[in-house]
């Protein structure tokens, strides 16, 4: 049976990473959800050789950020808590600083879109149109 690596969180924000055996990615996600955690990232475990060569670009960092943010928000976590979790998980120090900057701007009264627009070299596009007063995200059509 294939092995999948995962990163997950609980509703109170505890982060966990590990390996899980499942027939496919969908089954792995279901197993994780049934165990009471919120899966952030699930992917088939790569070979040892491939693990040693990692080419992470800014684009992949933003993609990871967007995917994980969607998972957290979809699970019902508030935006500020979700951003705080993602900042703690960020593999890249620059990305971590940017996420904390976005979080601080939001806590200072900026909308989520405005906070992302302060970092145009990183968030050169984003599907988020509006962040309303109630901390709910409205997606562009």
Using one digit for the tens of pLDDT, what is the confidence trace for 63-80?
888 889 998 998 889 999
Asked if pLDDT for residue 141 goes beyond 60, the answer is no
Q: Which of 5-19, 21-35, 36-50 ranks highest by mean pLDDT?
A: 21-35
What pLDDT shows up at residue 79?
92
* Dihedral over Cα of 21, 19, 93, 51: its sign: negative
Phi/psi zone of residue 13: left (φ > 0), alpha (ψ -120 to 50 degrees), beta? Answer: left
Mean pLDDT, the chain, whole residue set: 78
| pLDDT tens string 87-130 | 988 888 888 889 999 999 999 998 888 888 888 778 765 455 44
The DSSP call for residue 92 is S
Confidence of residue 56 (pLDDT cuts 50, 70, 90): very low
In angstroms, the CA 40 to CA 64 distance is 9
- Residue 79: CB partners within 8 Å, gap ≥ 6? 73, 106, 112, 131, 135, 137
Looking at per-residue confidence, does 49 or 127 come out higher?
127
Query: Looking at residue 85, what DSSP letter applies?
Result: H
């Amino acid at each position: 049976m294939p092995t999948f690596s995962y990163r997950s969180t609980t509703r109170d924000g505890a982060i966990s990473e590990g390996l899980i055996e499942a027939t496919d990615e969908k089954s792995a996600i279901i197993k994780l959800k049934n165990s009471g955690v919120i899966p952030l990232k699930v992917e088939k475990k790569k070979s040892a050789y491939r693990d040693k060569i990692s080419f992470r670009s800014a684009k992949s960092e933003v993609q990871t950020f967007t995917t994980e943010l969607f998972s957290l928000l979809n699970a019902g976590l508030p935006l500020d808590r979700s951003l705080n979790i993602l900042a703690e998980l960020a593999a890249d120090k620059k990305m971590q600083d940017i996420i904390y900057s976005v979080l601080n701007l939001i806590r200072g009264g900026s909308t989520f879109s405005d906070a992302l627009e302060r970092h145009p070299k990183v968030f050169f596009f984003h599907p988020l149109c509006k962040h309303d007063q109630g901390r709910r995200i409205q997606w562009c059509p």
